Structure 1
């Protein structure tokens, strides 16, 4: 009986956890909220692993309320969705453990907001309906507004204001694009819309393309694609380490939406709307990659440098995806796993370093020797060589897959130099940061502040995840290749959804 409802459990778990955490809970409410949150994230990992094992043989489709498509809400779990759900769960647990060491006391309702954020992210990965993609976007955005302000401060307020205004404009564009697509196709179910878009001709096809381009703009905004990236560096650099680490998966929601929509609805079988946006993604992705590299080099703060590393990862993934072949998509997905784990670890590490350096915080200048100098230096070294892409860790493997996916002369001539150049700039920036923070410290006794081993262990766990990607690179690559094969044959997704929900095959 439980297996029939497995697809909806990743949404119910954080939803009920958040509701429970809103209760007063007597004399020590924070203790109970922490326990509820940790149990919730642990259950999410168990459910996510179970889902991943199940979708290796079939695509799970859950019709909420047993309403039939295209009018009913469906949740769809294929290999891609299951991978993203598991990645979110694997990131969320160590990040929450890190936050439970006191950062959750900086503001009210942190734990409930954390769970609502997970609800929005997981819902975006699981929904099979464009309107409900919008709904889950709004859930995660509303939660992120409050989480960005967690702990207060003028810098956070300014960054949050920019973030909120830009995303409100994005939400309006999202609704306009949904209205256009619904007006032309009469449906918002993604599988049903994919079938109907493929039959459009003339003005109807042109209008559908305009709706699709608006969706691309909105998803590009969520992913921080140039020229809509400027909200990300300040937002990620000014918030707390726990929130920034959780947000490492949030930009991936935009990338996921682009991959899902533009392979399923506007893929090779979309008739006159086929290949929509791929040329735009190629050039904008290259520009994002270049700007991210320059941003990393110009950063004088470690947190800001890490935020620009996220921008680099966005440019790398979307440029590679725009090449449109299976190898490219497989490389993007492998790189997505790597970048999420390692940037999450780096944001947590930057928070610890900033606390132990006192007034100099995370600025890349000389400061006091850290209380846990050796341990933090080792963690920083592993994280730096991983995120840069130095051999033999997962950053090198993932970039190797991406460079290998470039097949034409133009792709090689543009993608290779920019990927290698951004790698070089990242190496310079992080080498400079490591030198100033760990080698050339000010004389005198070390800082008095030290962190519990449990917090450092959460950072190590995320880095071990990146190391595991190196050790198990072949089976992980085989799995991402299978996902790429599924995405290149959208009829599998369409048939699974419409057969199980009674949609029209004609």
Structure 2
């Protein structure tokens, strides 16, 4: 089935509407939570909800792939809701970056949902409806071309995440869930303040329009605009788990059930994506007096985030908390690339972000598979009875550890190598090289320690705890995520070309403005005299008719 033939020109909207309509349908079906061994009616309802959710998520993956294929040609697809022209109406914009994030979201979501149908979805109410609302918020955040609608989709995915975090219940989930809700509400309030300041100064919240109007703001108003951009950096930094705003994440992700924590691996990337779109592009090069407002803060904080994350992993006493700290560390590595503000660094960061998200999601699922076979010790990093599948689970952990640490020829190595090359001749080169290499070594050390305790320092005086959690269905879900990360090495060349083209497209602000705003965008682009990066010599040149897209 070709989604383009099915939905035609409405394909960009379907990336958001398919999970939204699926969630509504699942709500109409009714509550499917409870014990799988309940009444026949409850079991049939749960099986129906599972089938609909899986089909919808698979369709979402096909839509994302089709949009990525279209975006790979370099053309931006703009969908105007209600046919209202930008910047007055709501627009959805599919460029290479948006398409990449949609594919990543669906690639994580499908095996995670498959894992959840192994039993976790029956441990609480409306799991599948909430899962689809989460996908709706994630997809909407990646395709919206408007700052206020970015806020709206943030709230959609956060509201769903509040309930998913408590899925399965338990005192610890409610405790960290309360902190998670309060902190996110405070961040949302700051988001509105930042958006309000930007609108007051520029008269628009359309991202393409902002990229052209921000350079025209000078004098005292520019100082207020810079303050607004830093407020948004705080908000997005909290979502991305950037130090010192990341202390909430380890306890929160470690407390969530395995499929929810695995899905949450993509949530931090919404913050990364927003920083790239807003602080990297709109307030990046050619932003006039507000150019590079976040740069003095972003790179030092990114280096600290990567280091603190890996030190937290070394000190972790449970496997899920170790993985949660590695999530923080991986975000720091991606943010290092963003903080360098070069095309090559952004390309490296995007490549590394994809592989790290897949590995982290796979590790969260693997954590529960291991814990289910260790009896009372569960996920504690202490000797216990031997697991039922030591060879399979041990190899999966070894594969994940090698990729997370960046050992060749796995994609983690390629991403970090690209980042090190991109930092050459940069003023922070020494710091970047030191942190990236040290973090890789310490991550490998932390995961090796965990593997040693889980699979080698076992207590043979205790009987095996059985093969609980050894279901091929559950193992396949975790293995598919780790396998997808490994496949990035096989397809490294086309993926690197795609991320390089994505980074170049992000810097081509006039092309983005023309696609979204039409003739009005072209007129303002000429007035603002934006620049783009020339692929021939990687130097900034004026965008003129002599240098077309």
What residue number does 1:422 align with?
439
Contact 1:371 1:450 in 2 (8 A): no
- The normalised TM-score by structure 1 is 0.98
> What are the residue-to-residue correspondences of 1:32-431 with 2, within 5 Å?
32-57=48-73, 58-408=75-425, 410-431=427-448
- Deviation readout 1:413-460 (Å, 9 max, x if unpaired): 101111111112111211111011011111143212242101101111
Stretch deviating more after TM superposition (483-492 or 251-260) = 483-492
SS of residue paired to 1:62: strand
Is the 2:61–2:106 contact (alpha carbons within 8 Å) kept by the matching residues of 1? yes
Please list the CA deviations of residues 154-205 of structure 1 after superposition, one character each: whole Å capped at 9, or x if unmatched: 1111111111111111000000001100000111111111111111111121
- Which deviates the most, 70-79 or 153-162? 153-162
Aligned partners of 1:497 and 1:70: how far apart in 2? 8
| SS state at 2:513 partner | helix
2:498 paired residue number: 479
- Residue number in structure 2 paired with 1:497: 516
CA–CA separation in structure 2 for the residues paired with 1:260 and 1:150:
32
Match of 1:23 in 2: 28
Please report how far the alpha carbon of residue 39 of structure 1 lies from its aligned counterpart in structure 2 after TM superposition.
0.3
SS for the counterpart of 2:79 is strand
Give the C-alpha shift of residue 501 in structure 1.
Answer: 8.7
CA distance in 1: counterparts of 2:423 and 2:24, whole angstroms: 47
Does the 8 A contact of 1:68 with 1:503 survive in 2?
A: no
Give the direction of change, closer, same or farther, for the CA distance of 1:500–1:119 in structure 2 (3 Å limit).
farther
| Matched-pair contact (CA < 8 Å) for 2:173–2:256 | yes
What secondary structure does 2:430 align onto? helix
Contact 2:280 2:338 in 1 (8 A): no
SS of residue in 2 equivalent to 1:198: helix
* TM-score using structure 2 length: 0.90
Tell me the distance in 1 between the aligned counterparts of 2:511 and 2:221.
26
1:117, CA displacement in angstroms?
0.4
Distance 1:501 1:123, change over 3 A: farther
Unaligned runs of 5+ in 2: 31-40, 528-549
Q: Residue in 2 aligned with 1:459? A: 478
Contact kept, 8 Å, 1:190 with 1:264, in 2: the verdict is no
Q: Whole-Å Cα distance in 1 between the matches of residues 206 and 113 of structure 2?
A: 34
- Residues 513, 521 of structure 2: 8 Å contact kept: no
Cα distance, 1:384 vs. partner?
A: 1.4
Q: 1:504 to 1:106 in 2, by over 3 A?
A: farther
SS at the partner of 1:42? helix
Is the partner of 2:285 in helix, strand or coil?
A: coil
Gap runs ≥5 in structure 1: none
Alignment check: 8 A CA contact 2:209 2:521 kept:
no
The alpha carbon displacement at 1:386 in A equals 1.2
| Separation in 2, partners of 1:226, 1:434 | 28
Deviation at 1:504, TM superposition (A): 6.4
**RMSD over aligned Cα, in angstroms?**
1.4
**Corresponding pairs, count:** 506
Conservation of the 8 A alpha-carbon contact between 1:262 and 1:275: yes
The answer to whether the 8 Å contact 1:69/1:501 transfers is no
- Residues 14 and 116 in structure 1, CA contact (< 8 A), matched pair in contact too: yes
Contact 2:250–2:321 (CA<8 Å) still a contact in 1?
yes
- C-alpha separation between the residues in 2 aligned to 1:185 and 1:450? 55
Distance 1:323 1:502, change over 3 A: closer
